[in-house]
Amino acid sequence: MTDQSRIPLFPLNAVLFPGGRLPLRVFEARYMDMTRDCMRSGSPFGVCLIREGREVGKPATPEPVGSLAHIIDWDMQQLGMLQLQTRGGQRFRVLRSEASPQGLLSADIELIPAEDPVAVPESLKACVQLLQTVVRDQGDTVFHAPHRMDEAAWVGYRLAEILPIPLPARQKLLELADSVERLTLLHRFLEQHGLLQNNSGGA
């Protein structure tokens, strides 16, 4: 995929972060066709948070920044209902979009460069400790491997997807270009909600 490409869009009431998990149930004809085409070509589709509209029916208006979704597994236990397991890929910015007669959105996108690996600052290490607790309690498979507990971007993305954060705030976290700034905001959220009481480590 080039830095500027055209991809199908799947607007959802969800924010997908790079490296994240997103299970999907697909039943509308437009998205069944999209999924079939993506699996045949091995190409991703785009997931964007819905800015206006609904998931079902008339095409929704998406937020301008989303993430690529790579299909890693699928199943059809029920006729007409496809279960997908997807993994978040690179972020992108929507340049322009249009709907097909079938109601499927497609967009010209610009890929957003991946963030450079930056170590988690000492003052934010409590975020790492919290994630380590989640992995210990729920197992290694709760997050896609590899687990990059020493990288601010990876830790921030994982916290942003599991914490009870309103969708508009999650979208803002996705759009941030600075991984340490993102992690700082998440650390503040954890402090405000008393979630670092046993994980502060003096930070």
Show the beta-strand stretches assigned E in 100-164: 105-111
In CATH, which of 3.30.420.480, 2.160.10.10, 1.10.260.40, 1.10.4060.10 is domain 122-192?
1.10.4060.10
pLDDT tens, 17-62? 999 999 999 999 999 999 999 999 999 999 999 999 877 778 889 9
Evaluate if residue 3 carries a pLDDT over 90: no
At 121-167, the pLDDT tens digits run 999 999 999 999 999 998 878 898 889 999 999 999 999 999 999 99
Asked if 110 contacts 3 with a C-beta cutoff of 8 angstroms, the reply is yes
Residue 67, beta-bridge partner list: 47, 91
- pTM more than 0.85: yes
- Could you read off the pLDDT of 176-189 as tens digits, one per residue? 999 999 999 999 99
What CATH number matches the domain at 4-111, 2.30.130.40, 2.40.30.10, 3.40.47.10, 3.40.50.1100?
A: 2.30.130.40
